[in-house]
Structure 1
Amino acid sequence: MFPLGICSIVAITVIIERFFFFRRIQATALAEKVLKMVEGQHMDEAQAIAGQSSLPLIKVLAAGINNRLHPAKAMEAAGITEMSAMRRGLPVLDTIVTLSPLLGLLGTIIGMINSFQIMAVSGIGQPHAVTGGVAEALIATATGITVAVIALIPYNYFLARIERETEKIEHYATRLEIALTTPPVKE
């Protein structure tokens, strides 16, 4: 039960941290503003706004604005870095989802062994001692499955959220690349 307690504390910590991270990175309005500035050839203003942001989408756009000779490669490199930041902690959740039920089963097996040892020492004359030990042992399995379920739902949500953010970054990066390579309209 002690390892399951540690798993649950770590899972809850990662879930809370990732929740606040994803809650903070809504940047569509700022991305639109930066794109409008680039399209209007206000590069210095766009660079200043994008350079001040810590949001993943805006960091990727800033990389493209700062490297106008090769914006696609610069944004790709920045995108890889930002994807890594978004995935931080998820391998831990994935491990906890897999490990917790196994730890629970291990606890149950150890409890069953203890119950059979009690039965071997006291004989079959005390079935209550054996069944109480079996019931206690099954608590470990239930706890392991509960920890896994509690970690699995946010884990899948975060994976879906990363996928949406990746699509958003690709969309805005493509739009920025087009804006940077389109010659300005002369009046």
Structure 2
Amino acid sequence: MNSLDFFQKGGPVMYILFLCSLTVIAISIDRFIYYRQAVKDKSEFQTGLEKILLQKTVPEAIAFCKNFSNAFSFVAMAGLKAYKKGNDVEQALDSTYSMAAMKLRERINYLSVVVTLAPLLGLLGTIFGMIQSFSIFNVQAGQPLAITGGIGEALIATATGLCVAVLSLLAHTYYSQRLDTILTDLEQTYTIVLNCVPKQTMPGGSIHETT
């Protein structure tokens, strides 16, 4: 039995499972590329940013952030621009951090959906296949083998569904772990900006501590 015959014997559900597997692969490639760009030059950026901010030079810190295109510069830039305009730095950092986290979480939930959906689709295809197998009522010579062979073919859908679910589970676990790591690093950048920017003078001459 070649691969095409094996696929066709699984029934119509196999086409849905095939789409599920393509979805998992597409999301995995997309998140891999996005996460790699999000953490590009992370250590260099955080070390350089803190050093510049400790010298109380916010304009230089903004110019420094423009040299990077990762998620950390995106968050830090928002806080520094808010400081330069006299706005609330912490609020700007909060909103930008939430936006960055939302972009990082995009499509990850689809992987968990496939983990649950694929085995159910495989089981559904198996049930349909077994119904067809047991629809043979006039058992004559050779027909019992036809029934058992039909059950074996019906189980192809379940096996395929489990394989797709395992693939999706591995991808979901890996990217969830990477997501947690990136968010932790973003929080460190958030803290660096919040703790290192100079004091802000609020309307009325009062001093506002950004920390």
TM-score by length of 1: 0.90
User: Which residue, 134, 150, 163 being the options, matches 1:146?
Assistant: 163
Q: Which residue of 2 aligns with 1:104?
A: 122
1:124 CA displacement = 5.5
Q: Which residue of 1 aligns with 2:49?
A: 34
Tell me if the contact between 2:119 and 2:161 (Cα under 8 Å) persists in the aligned partners. Answer: yes
Amino acid at match of 1:123: V
Q: Residue by residue, what CA displacement relative to the aligned partner does 1:105-127 show, whole Å, maximum 9, x if unpaired? A: 0000000001011x22x426411
1:32 CA displacement = 1.7
Q: Any unmatched runs of 5+ in structure 2?
A: 1-13, 201-211
Aligned runs of 1:64-75 on 2, under 5 Å?
A: 64-68=79-83, 69-75=87-93
User: Which residue, 7, 15, 18 being the options, matches 2:28?
Assistant: 15
Provide the rounded CA distance (Å) in 2 between the counterparts of 1:124 and 1:56: 69
Amino acid at match of 1:6: L
Tell me if the contact between 1:51 and 1:59 (Cα under 8 Å) persists in the aligned partners. Answer: no
Q: Which residue of 1 aligns with 2:76?
A: 61
Q: Which residue of 2 aligns with 1:24?
A: 37
SS at match of 2:73: helix
Tell me if the contact between 2:58 and 2:197 (Cα under 8 Å) persists in the aligned partners. Answer: no
Q: Any unmatched runs of 5+ in structure 1?
A: none
Asked whether 1:47 is paired with 2:65, we answer no
SS at match of 1:67: helix
1:19 CA displacement = 1.3
Provide the rounded CA distance (Å) in 1 between the counterparts of 2:140 and 2:114: 38
Kindly, what percent of the aligned residue pairs are identical? 33
Provide the rounded CA distance (Å) in 1 between the counterparts of 2:70 and 2:21: 29
User: Which residue, 109, 131, 138 being the options, matches 1:91?
Assistant: 109
Moved more, 19-28 or 107-116: 19-28
* RMSD, matched Cα: 1.6
1:51 CA displacement = 3.6
User: Which residue, 150, 171, 191 being the options, matches 1:133?
Assistant: 150
Provide the rounded CA distance (Å) in 2 between the counterparts of 1:166 and 1:104: 35
Provide the rounded CA distance (Å) in 2 between the counterparts of 1:74 and 1:96: 36
Count of equivalent residues: 181
Asked whether 1:115 is paired with 2:133, we answer yes
TM-score by length of 2: 0.80
Tell me if the contact between 2:114 and 2:165 (Cα under 8 Å) persists in the aligned partners. Answer: yes
Tell me if the contact between 1:115 and 1:133 (Cα under 8 Å) persists in the aligned partners. Answer: yes
Amino acid at match of 2:190: A
SS at match of 1:41: coil
* CA shift in 2, pair 1:82/1:138, >3 Å: same
Provide the rounded CA distance (Å) in 1 between the counterparts of 2:175 and 2:132: 40
